[in-house]
Amino acid sequence: MAENTNNIPGIFNYCDRWCERCAFTSRCLNFQMSEEMREGKEINDLENEKFWEDMDNIFNITHDMLDEMAEEQGIDLTEIEWTKEDKEHEQELEESVRKHQCVIASKKYYEFVSGWFEINEGIFKEKEDELNEQLMLELSSAEPKKEAITLKDAIEVITYYLHFINIKLMRAIHGQIEDRYELPDDLPKDSDGSAKIALLAIDRSISAWGKLLKHLEESEDEILEFLVLLEQLRNMTEKEFPDARKFVRPGFDE
C-alpha cells in the first residue's frame, strides 16, 4: 500500500478524519489500512478475533519501524527518563493551553450547543413530522424531501465538528507554545496546520447553522447566538495564527 504512487503522501496528517465525506479516500494510505482491517468482519466489532490479529500485526510493524528509526538517530529507547522538570514543564504547558482564550471559547461553544441539542430534541421531531405530513399530502408547492436532506446534512456537520474544533485548537495552542522552545526555521508549523483544520471546521459549522436558521425560525435567537460565538472564535483563531489559512495541506490545498 505504501508503495502505491497514486497515494498522496501525508494527506491524512491534516484532515478532519471524516472519511465518509472525503473525496480523497482512494488516495489515502490511512483509509486504505483501516479498510483492510475491516475486511471480512463487522465494523466496530472489537471482540472479533480477526480485528485483534490485525491490530497485533500493525503494532509489530510500528514497533519494528520505531526500533529502526531510533537506531538511525542514536536514540536509546531503554534509557529515556521522565524527569521532575519534564513533568513540571508539561503541567505548565497543559495549564497554559486550558487557559487560552481560543480553547475557552471553543469549549464554551461545545457546551452551549450540546446543551441546546439535548433540550430541543422536540423541535427536530416536530419538523420531521411536518415534513412527513407534507410528503403524504404531496404538496406541489413544497419540497419536503429536499428540506429534510438539508436539515440532516446541517445537523451532521454541526455535531461532527462540535468537539473537533476544541480538540484541534488545543493541539494548535499546545504546538504554538512548544514552538517557543525550538530554534526558528522556515518549515511549515504543525500548529498552523492544526489551526487551519479548526478554522475550516468553524467555517463549515457557520454554513450549517445558516442552513438551520432558514428552517428553524422558532430557534432564531439561539442560532444567532451560536453564530456569534463561532464568528468570535474564528476571529480569535485567525489573529492568534495569522499564517494558518496559508498552510498548504497535502492533497487538499495543492
Burial class (CB in 10 A: 0-12, 13-18, 19+), 23: exposed
**Looking at residue 44, what is its pLDDT?**
47
Comparison of pLDDT for 47 and 170, the residue scoring more? 170
Mean residue pLDDT of the chain comes to 81
**Looking at residue 104, what is its pLDDT?**
95
Q: 3-state DSSP call for residue 179? A: helix
pLDDT at 148 over 70: no
pLDDT at 227 over 60: yes
pLDDT tier at 141, thresholds 50, 70, 90: very low
pLDDT at 119 over 80: yes
pLDDT tier at 101, thresholds 50, 70, 90: very high
Element (H, E) at 146: helix 144-179
Provide the grid cell at 122. 422536540
d(CA 30, CA 248): 19
pLDDT at 233 over 80: yes
pLDDT at 145 over 60: no
Q: Are 237 and 196 in contact (CB under 8 A)?
A: no
pLDDT at 142 over 80: no
Angle at 9 between CA 25 and CA 21, to 5 degrees: 20
Q: Are 179 and 189 in contact (CB under 8 A)?
A: yes
**Looking at residue 231, what is its pLDDT?**
94
pLDDT per residue over 76-98, tens digit each?
A: 767 656 677 767 777 888 888 99
How far, CA to CA in Å, does 51 sit from each of 41, 64, 182? Answer: 8, 20, 40
Element (H, E) at 230: helix 220-240
d(CA 152, CA 237): 28
Percent of the chain exceeding pLDDT 70 equals 75
d(CA 37, CA 242): 39
d(CA 87, CA 105): 27
pLDDT per residue over 158-175, tens digit each?
A: 999 999 999 999 999 999
Q: Are 110 and 166 in contact (CB under 8 A)?
A: yes
pLDDT at 235 over 80: yes
pLDDT tier at 234, thresholds 50, 70, 90: very high
